[in-house]
Amino acid sequence: MFIAIKDLELRDVRFQVDVPAGEIDYSSEITQISALHATGSAHLLSRSLGEVRIEGNLKVTVNAPCDRCLESATVAVEKRFDLVYMPSETGNGAREDEVDEAAVEVGYYDGAGLALNDVLREVVLLALPMQLICAEACKGICPECGQNLNQGECDCEPQPIDDRWSKLREFRAGSTARN
Ligand SMILES: [Zn+2]
Ligand SMILES: [Zn+2]
């Protein structure tokens, strides 16, 4: 779906889409594994400046590599979004202050309007957690040999223990002894 500025000049554009997996190209590491469902609307904030506000809700499931073990982790994304887009030729001069006040994220578009899929792609990427793990209990990989420790222990020597941790262990041992 293409959101054309000339349509927005007449009325707000509402959207309700189910984007099948494979249609949006994220990064090589992120794969959409469910249909992406999104509803919302686009509104022309300023006709003279071509400023467009797009808000809505998005729901999708993606696979992305676990930060600890690098295996594929499944992430359910559910996100309410509110974005402002400005024509890229406007640049980012004095206008930026005004946009900041609205406390929304700002993007840029070229030409006659925006492809909704590009907007949704950005929302998904922004919604992914900073630390993405396959499971709370993920053991990660051995720093020595790279073995995925969820699949079994390796034969590497235990790492020399950082001093801070041994202090913590003593502290813990002490507190259990008291109990
Ligand atoms: Zn993991
Ligand atoms: Zn190892």
How does pLDDT run across 101-159, given as a tens digit for each residue?
545 678 999 999 999 999 999 999 999 988 899 999 999 999 999 999 999 999 998 76
- Give the ligand at the shortest distance from the Cα of 69: 1
Q: What is the pLDDT of residue 179?
A: 47
Ligand 2 centre to CA of 119 (Å) is 42
- Give the ligand at the shortest distance from the Cα of 72: 1
Q: Is 3 exposed, middle or buried (0-12, 13-18, 19+ CB in 10 A)?
A: buried
Q: What is the pLDDT of residue 27?
A: 84
CA 20/CA 35 separation, integer angstroms? 5
This prediction has a pTM of: 0.76
Q: Tell me: the pLDDT tens digits for 3-32? A: 999 999 999 999 999 999 999 999 879 999
CB-CB contact of 85 with 78 (8 Å): no
* Mean pLDDT in residue range 21-45: 95
Q: What is the pLDDT of residue 167?
A: 67
- Give the ligand at the shortest distance from the Cα of 154: 2
Characterise 57 by phi-psi region: left (phi > 0), alpha (psi -120 to 50), beta (else).
Answer: beta
Q: Tell me: the pLDDT tens digits for 78-108? A: 999 999 999 987 555 545 555 455 456 789 9
**What tokens does 170 get?**
């003593």
Cβ neighbour number for residue 161 with a 10 Å cutoff = 9
- Give the ligand at the shortest distance from the Cα of 145: 2
Ligand 1 centre to CA of 61 (Å) is 17
Ligand 1 centre to CA of 113 (Å) is 40
Q: What is the pLDDT of residue 105?
A: 75
Domain ranges of the chain: 2-127, 139-179
52 or 46: which leads in pLDDT: 52
Could you tell me which residues come within 8 angstroms of residue 144 by beta carbon, excluding any fewer than 6 positions away?
154, 156, 157, 159
Q: Tell me: the pLDDT tens digits for 59-81? A: 999 999 999 999 999 999 999 99
Ligand 1 centre to CA of 167 (Å) is 28
Ligand 2 centre to CA of 141 (Å) is 8
Ligand 1 centre to CA of 142 (Å) is 12
Cβ neighbour number for residue 73 with a 10 Å cutoff = 18
**CA end-to-end distance (rounded Å), the chain:** 64
| For residue 51, pLDDT beyond 70 | yes
Q: What is the pLDDT of residue 168?
A: 67
Ligand 1 centre to CA of 136 (Å) is 8
- Give the ligand at the shortest distance from the Cα of 135: 1
